[in-house]
Every structure is written in C-alpha cells, then in structure tokens.
Structure 1
Amino acid sequence: MRYLEKNEIKTIQLGILDYIDEICKKNNISYFLSYGTMLGAVRHKGMIPWDDDIDISLYREDYERLLKAIEEDQHPIYQVLSYDTSSWYFHNFAAILDTSTVIEDNVKYKRHDTSLFIDVFPIDQFSDLSIVDKSYKYVALRQLAYIKKERAVHGDSKLKDFLRLCTWYPLRLVNPRYFYKKIDQLVKNSVTENPTYEGAVGVGKEKMKEVFPAGTFKELILTEFEGRMMPIPKNYDAFLTQMYGDYMTPPSKEMQEWYSHSIKAHRKIEK
C-alpha cells in the first residue's frame, strides 16, 4: 500500500470540487468557496500551500438541494456524508467524499476510517442572535458526551468533578444526532421574512465571528482558483477581515506548520 503524495491529494480534492461545481451548474445552485479556501483564492489564487482542506458554503435551501442532487446522481465514487447518511458522523454540516480513497485514523472522525472530502457548510439567515449561544450549548454538550471519562475529571475539586460526572454519564446515553438536529431545528425555526444576520451556526469555533449582516454572501463573483474560475462573495473582504484580520499577510513559518494538517491517505484496496 502506498500513501498518496500531497499533490495527489490536492488533485483528488480538486476533482471533488469540480464535480460539485458541475452539479451546481446543472441544477442552478449557488455556492461559494469559504473559510481558508476563500482566503487561498484571494491571496494565493489557489489552495493555501500549507493547508489541505477545501471548504464551500451555501445558503440553507441550496445546501439541501445540493445534497439531494448528489444523492440522486448516484456517482460511483462521489458521495454525501452527513448525520442522515452515516451512523457515526455527528456534525451538522456535510462532506462530499471521494470513496475511492481512505484516510486512516482521521482526527476528525475518530475511530473510523473515512475518505478524502470537501466540507460543505449551510448558511442560515436569522434575526435573533440568541440562537448562536443556544446552538453552541448543544455543541458543548455533544463534545462533553464524547470525551473520555478521564478528561471529564479535572482534579481541581472533588465536588466539581462529581458534578461534571453527573452531567457526563447521562449524556453518554444520548444519540449525538439529537444535539445537531436540535441546532438545525433551532435555526430553521428562527427564519424570518426580513432577516438581520446570516452565517454558519454551530459548525465552527468562532461563534459571533461567523455571524454577518444578512446579504453578505448573496452577490458572488468569479475568481481564479487552481487554474479554474470559482465563485466567492463579492463582499469577500468583509468576511476575510472579520475571520482572519490582516488576511493578506501570511502567518509565520511556525504558524504555517501549526496550521498544516498532513493528511495520510491511500487508494482503497478492492477485496
């Protein structure tokens, strides 16, 4: 078995992106490069050299249409991974997999081999900012439920450790899907006719940093990305500045190494 080189992994991920782009064009679905992928497009005209992720985002309606279109397409290798399609995937955003590949001992999906992927994030619109805090409470409960017992015990106080374990034990009995379905219900029930805000709720670590004025992602432009033209928001500067600050200045070599994910993947061996 031979592990894939970084340039091979990149080619495979771009293949997933090209497939998504084709499906979106065929079904009149709007999407855009997001997070570090948007930053890479603006600063490097491609993937960030020390990063090996590709992320895209879509408004909720288009997000659900994209997942349905890919499932109906029944492609031999490109498949949807979500909490609806998997018994072990517990995130409230989806991934599109290249199932001809295997990532072993993936940090993201502990105890499960998975495939090379692109993350797909839903953008929701809302007016009540309290749903952001509420959603992250569900995220925290889910994370607490699936940490090891030793990590739930901090050793700072017997009483505090006892109370943590009193919370931890019952949570172990709850299906993780419950927490993410609650987040999805929360944002869907918060939709208003004239929303004030939009963003990916309960999917990242930045909370309010990922909340933007409604319409921030509505108008798209095409920009160069790895030799192809890909959509990003016309208002990309607002997103990148809020998320990354002085985004046109690359991080130090030390931080580049810290950001590097170093995926270990290989082609699936057919039995």
Structure 2
Amino acid sequence: MERLTIDDMKSIELEIMDEIDRVCQAHGVQYFLGYGSLLGAVRHGGFIPWDDDMGIIMMRDQYELLMANFNEWRTTERFKLVSYRDKSSIYQFAKIVDTTTVIFENFVGKKAATGVWVDVFPLEHFSEQQGPALLKQHQRTGLLRSFAVADPSVGTNAFVKLVKRIVCPFVKNKDLYELAERLDRIALRMNAADSASTLVIDVLGEGKLEKMFSKDLLEPIRIPFEDREYFAPSGFEEYLSIQYGDWRTPPAENARPVHVMEAYRL
C-alpha cells in the first residue's frame, strides 16, 4: 500500500466533497460545512492548515434522505456512504468514504478502519423537556462505546493507558454496531420529541447542551473553500462562536491538534 501524506488526504477529501455537493444539488438535499471545515473556510479560505479531515452538518430529514439514497445517486462507485446500519462502519453517524483508500486511527482499534472520509452529522430539534435527560443518556452510552472501540495499547499519557487497560477488557466484546444504533436511537428520540423546536443540536457528533443553536442560522449560502465553493450556514459567525468561542484567533502552535491517523492508497 502507498502511504498518503496530509496533502494527499486533503486532495481526496475535496474530491469527496465535490461528489457530495454534486449529488446534493442534483437531488435537492441541503447540507452545510460544519465544525472545523466551516472554521477553515471562514478563517483560512479552505482547510485549517494543521487539520486533516472534513465534516458537514444537515437537518435530520435531509440526513435520512442522503442515507437512504447516496449509494444509488452517486456518480462513481469510488465513493460510498458507510453506516452502522449495514455494518459498513462502526460509527453512529454517516461517513462518505473513498473506497480506494484506508485509514488507521492511532487511538482506535484496527476494526474501525474505513477509507479517507467526510463526516456527515445530523442535527436534531432540541426538546426542552426531554433534551437534558437524553443527552446524559447519550453521554453514558458514548463513553461505553469509546472504551469498546479504543486501542488499549495507545494513550495520550500513562494514566489514560492504565484506565484503558483496566476498562477495555470488560467491554471489548460489546457489539459496536448495536452501540452505534443505540446512540442514533437516542438522537432520533430527541428529534421526535419536539420537531417544532427552533433550537437544533448535534447529538451524534457533540451531544453538548451548550453547543445547541437557533435553526435560523441555517439559511444556505455559498462560500469559498480552497478553489471551490460549498454550502455554509448564513449565520456562520454565531455558529462558530457557539462552537469555539474566539474562533477568529488561531490557537498557539503548541495547542494545535496533531495528526493522529495513517492513510494509505490500496
């Protein structure tokens, strides 16, 4: 296999995003750049220089439409939507992957490997009555899943490695697809509990009460990303402030995330 550089990965991710953009526009599915991809677009005009992945967000109804149809709508079999629902991925949210590549994440067991990807996160309508309890339930299940999928031989420090060595053997035989399904069911319950709510939240990706925001921010606009244009929420400044606080100021060099994956062309 040929080892891919970070620049190689970014080039492939742009090709995946081009396919997502093409398919979504052809079939009336609305997506938005989210998280670091949106931050990179606004602050850097593309990728955050030290980042190595991409992600989009969309309302749950649009997400389900893409989930059900992307693999039929795609223009090439090189790209594929993978999900726990057909056991093509262990993750609770969808990924669009390049099937000619494979990625091994440093802190995750090899059974989680997929191709170079773009993450797809659904947004749920937030239920003021049931929301806090559902988020706590999601966090507990998410912690269990994190230990079940973790590589116990790898950790950021000695304490983390020790905790993994103690906990991981007790959860290593957990069904990762069932755990992903359980997390998704919680998110769906949030959405069903108050589908008229004007507040939305990413349960599957973040699951944090303080990260919810007004659906009014999600009017679509096109913004530059590298030498392309993709959809972004018109309220991107408020969205980024909710997600990151002072997003305009880049972090110090010693506070920037490090590359934690190895990618190869098959």
In the superposition, the TM-score normalised over structure 1's length comes to 0.82
Counterpart in the other structure of 1:234: 234
Q: CA deviation at 1:145?
A: 4.8
Aligned to 2:194: 191
Corresponding residue for 1:107? Answer: 106
Q: 2:163 aligns with which of 129, 151, 167?
A: 151
Whole-angstrom distance in 2 between the partners of 1:96 and 1:58: 14
Pair 100,125 (structure 1): closer, same or farther in 2 beyond 3 Å: same
1:266 pairs with 2:264: yes
Matches of residues 136-147 of structure 1 in structure 2 within 5 Å? 136-145=139-148
- Greater displacement, 22-31 / 127-136: 127-136
Write out per-residue CA displacement over residues 190-226 of structure 1, whole angstroms, 9 at most, x where no aligned residue: 133x30420111422x612321123332x12111111
Counterpart-to-counterpart distance in 2, 1:173 and 1:76? 28
Number of the residue aligned with 2:210: 209
How far off is 1:170 after superposition?
11
Amino acid at match of 1:123: L
1:229-249 C-alpha deviation (Å, 9 max, x unpaired)? 211111111111111111111
Q: Aligned partners of 1:169 and 1:234: how far apart in 2?
A: 43
Amino acid at match of 2:78: I
2:32–2:233 contact (8 Å) kept in structure 1? yes
Distance 1:266 1:170 in 2: 26
Query: Residues 156-202 of structure 1, C-alpha deviation per residue, up to 9 Å, x if partnerless?
Result: xxxxxxxx89xx5699478424522432342243133x304201114
Shift of 1:263: 3.6
| Further displaced range: 105-114 or 116-125 | 105-114
Alpha carbons of structure 1 residues 262 and 136: separation in structure 2 relative to 1, 3 Å:
closer
One-letter code aligned to 2:212: V
CA distance in 2, matches of 1:265, 1:96: 15
1:170 to 1:190, Cα distance in 2 relative to 1, 3 A? farther
Q: Which amino acid is 1:140 matched to?
A: L
* TM-score, reference length from structure 2: 0.83
Tell me if structure 2 keeps the 8 A contact 1:33–1:230.
yes
- Greater helix share, 1 or 2? 2
Give the alignment of 1:105-184 within 5 angstroms.
105-107=104-106, 109-112=108-111, 113-128=113-128, 129-130=131-132, 131-145=134-148, 151=163, 172=174, 175-184=178-187
How many angstroms does 1:114 deviate by?
A: 2.0
Contact between 1:43 and 1:248, CA under 8 Å: does it hold in 2? yes
Q: 1:173 to 1:93 in 2, by over 3 A?
A: closer
Shift in alpha-carbon separation, 1:108–1:179, aligned structure 2, 3 A: farther
Structure 2 unaligned segments of length 5 or more: list them.
Answer: 153-160
Q: Is the 8 A contact 2:147 2:164 kept in 1?
A: yes
Hey, what's the Cα distance between the residues in 2 that align with 1:52 and 1:85?
27
Residue 46 of structure 2: aligned partner: 46
The number of residue pairs the alignment matches comes to 250
Superposition deviation, residue 133 in structure 1: 2.6
User: Contact 1:23 / 1:69 at 8 angstroms: preserved in 2?
Assistant: no
* 1:136 positional shift: 1.9
Runs of at least 5 residues in structure 1 that lack an aligned partner in the other structure: 155-163
Alpha-carbon separation, structure 2, partners of 1:189 and 1:183: 10
Structure 1 range deviating more: 31-40 or 70-79: 70-79
| 3-state DSSP of counterpart to 2:37 | helix
Distance 1:228 1:265 in 2: 24
Helix, strand or coil at the partner of 1:10: helix
The alignment-based identity, stated in percent, is 31
1:76 corresponds to 2:77: yes
Q: 1:54 to 1:221 in 2, by over 3 A?
A: same
CA offset digits 1:34-74 (Å, max 9, x no partner): 00000000000100000011010110111111122212136
Partner of 1:66: 66
Aligned alpha-carbon RMSD (Å): 2.7
SS at match of 2:98: strand
Aligned to 1:255: 255
Note the alpha carbon deviations across 1:76-127, whole angstroms, 9 max, x for none. Answer: 210111111226x333211000001122x32365223321000000011133
